[in-house]
Amino acid sequence: MGINSDKVRVKVPGSTANLGPGFDTLGMALDLFTWIEMSTAAETRIHLLSDGMDGLPQDKTNLIYEVAQLVFDKAGVQHPELEISMYSDVPLTRGLGSSAAAIVGGLAAANALIGSPLSDDTLFQMATALEDHPDNVGASLFGGLVVAFWDGNRAEYIRVEPNEQLEVLVAIPHFQLSTEKARHVLPREQSLANAVFNVGHSSVLVAALCTGRLDMIPLAMKDALHQPYRAPLVPGLEQILAEATDHGALGVALSGAGPTMLALVDRSSSRKAELEGFLQGTLQAAGIEATLMWLQPALSGVQVLTHLDEGCTLFENIKGDVRA
């Protein structure tokens, strides 16, 4: 198997996970993207092109470089030195799937570089094992809404087309909360009552999303397994979870491991400004600065971009598409 001498470029969506009750099970891709360019080189170099990437390594300990090595191992090809450029609109460590986007983008780029010997399913299994849960990586790989489970050996999923009435408002606090820290506060054991609560709510939420029963979302998007334990890490969250539906949200949840909070909104709602004011006001009262952003579900997962101009830099090629 040969290594492609061309540059490969991929675009991968960020995502939200859990949607409240679907802890480690539900993921939805969002239209915030990471772009990765990868080519072979005489010596490994990593270029981080966007702001907010402070602290990410620019050597062979970078996550994207590391996951590329796993692809080469799996495909049985020698490890080339790599030149990697990365631009990301997905903020780091905020609950919008930055690590999953980096993992999926790195796997997809390395696979394309060697002629795509690995199937999507193989990439999904690898990404799930790396991230330790399938929700964010499933959404970044396949786009849309992904319902998944992982038994520690294999991950399985079904992709669902997001209802076209759904729009997303996120409140992204100006502080980071690592998934590791936000998982550490969860109890190792839970009551049967909490398990039954979440199975019921998550199941009805998925059924509501599949059948367009948006009226069920406010009732179904409730969680007993993780949000109550994570709320002390995110000032304002408790009030937002309790009251956002009184201010125009269909449903509200901590996005992934937080600290971002996510509201599902009917795109024809006349109460969007009221919801923005409620979120911003509640967070300000709790002493938290946050950026609000309207996002759309991303229908496509990771894409290998073939239309880009080889003669231009990654940023020159994508600058019409980035948010910042």
Ligand X SMILES: Nc1ncnc2c1ncn2[C@@H]1O[C@H](COP(=O)(O)OP(=O)(O)OP(=O)(O)O)[C@@H](O)[C@H]1O
- Residue from 99, 140, 198, 282 touching ligand X (CB under 6 A): that is 99
Nearer to ligand HSE, 137 or 275 (CB): 137
CB of 18 to ligand HSE, least distance (A): 5
Please confirm whether the linkage preceding 259 is cis (ω < 30° from 0): yes
98 interface partner picked from ligand HSE, ligand X, none, CB below 5 to 8 A per type: ligand X
Q: What is the DSSP string of 283-294?
A: HHHTT--EEEEE
Interaction between residue 96 and ligand X (CB under 6 A): yes
Do 97 and 90 contact (CB within 8 A), yes or no?
yes
Strand partners, 156: 149
DSSP letter (8 states) at residue 252: E
CB of 131 to ligand X, least distance (A): 7
Q: How far is CA 218 from the centre of its chain?
A: 22
Is 323 marked as binding a ligand? no
Instruction: State the Cα–Cα distance between residues 216 and 194, nearest whole angstrom.
Output: 20
- Residue from 64, 249, 252, 295 touching ligand X (CB under 6 A): that is 64
Instruction: State the Cα–Cα distance between residues 84 and 109, nearest whole angstrom.
Output: 10
Phi and psi at residue 116, to the nearest 5° = 55, 55
Is 94 marked as binding a ligand? yes
Interaction between residue 291 and ligand X (CB under 6 A): no
Task: Write out the binding residues for ligand X, residues 4-33 only, by CB under 6 A.
Answer: 17
Do 96 and 172 contact (CB within 8 A), yes or no?
yes
Phi and psi at residue 181, to the nearest 5° = -65, -40
Nearer to ligand X, 165 or 176 (CB): 176
Interaction between residue 227 and ligand X (CB under 6 A): no
Instruction: State the Cα–Cα distance between residues 183 and 53, nearest whole angstrom.
Output: 23
Give the residue nearest to ligand X (CB). 256
Sites of contact with ligand HSE (CB under 6 A):
17-18, 23-24, 133, 135-136, 179, 183, 226, 256-257
Instruction: State the Cα–Cα distance between residues 193 and 224, nearest whole angstrom.
Output: 9
Nearer to ligand X, 87 or 157 (CB): 87
Nearer to ligand X, 34 or 227 (CB): 34
Q: Known binding site: residues?
A: 91-101
Residue ranges at the known binding site for ATP: 91-101
Per CB under 6 A, residues contacting ligand X are: 17, 34, 56, 62-64, 86, 88, 92-100, 102, 136, 178-179, 256-257
